[in-house]
Each structure stands twice: as C-alpha cells, then as structure tokens.
Amino acid sequence: MTAGESKESGLKRVSVRYEGRVQGVGFRYTAIEVAAGFAVTGFVRNEPDGSVTLVAEGAEKDLVALLHAVRSTHLGRYITRDMCSWSVGTGEFAGFGVKHAW
C-alpha cells in the first residue's frame, strides 16, 4: 500500500494547485470534460488569487492519468506551476464538477 491509500478501498485523493494564466481560459470546464474519461470524483474551482484548485479521488492510476491528461490539453500552455499533494480518499464526492469559492 502506498502513502495516502485507504486500506479498505484503495481510494486516494490528489489536490492540485495550478498557477499561471489559468483563469479565463476554460480551465474548469476542460477539466470536467477530461475527468469524465476517468473513474474519478471531485471538483475544480477558481481561487481568489488567480490559481485553480483541482481535487480528485479514485484509484491512483486514474488520478495520475487524469493529471497527465489535463496537462496534455490546451491548458498545459497556461500552467506555469502545479503543486500536488496526496492523501487518503474520503469518498465524499458523488461526481466531478465545478465548486465555487466566492
């Protein structure tokens, strides 16, 4: 078992903060479209400081593939930095969508 993996389900969570010109470029809606291709749940939201947060839960292989897929869309050219943290999944999400911060 790897760090951040639940013994019961293998469910993991990844939280990513994307920085760069990531607002106003369709980031959230592209992330939703990409996430639909994977067995993941969670959300994406704009932050007041201009960054975007993506939180997703699922199997580690799906989460890694999701992050690579997001980077390989047109969004990759707008991302100057991404910071990931991994933890145990909670199972709290029913789907993947936009969460509004403000």
User: What is the residue extent of each domain of the chain?
Assistant: 12-91
Asked if 17 is an active-site residue, the reply is: no
CATH fold, domain 12-91, is Alpha-Beta Plaits (3.30.70)
pLDDT score, position 3:
46
Average pLDDT (10-16) is 96
Asked if 77 is an active-site residue, the reply is: no
- Are 101 and 46 contacting, i.e. CB atoms less than 8 angstroms apart? yes
- Are 41 and 96 contacting, i.e. CB atoms less than 8 angstroms apart? yes
Q: What does the block give as tokens for 1? A: 């078992």
Catalytic residue among 21, 45, 46, 81: 46
Q: For residue range 74-93, list pLDDT tens digits in order.
A: 999 999 999 999 999 999 99
C-alpha pair distances (Å), 6 with each of 11, 41, 48, 67, 96: 6, 16, 32, 20, 20
Catalytic residue among 28, 45, 71, 81: 28
Predicted TM-score (pTM) of the model is 0.89
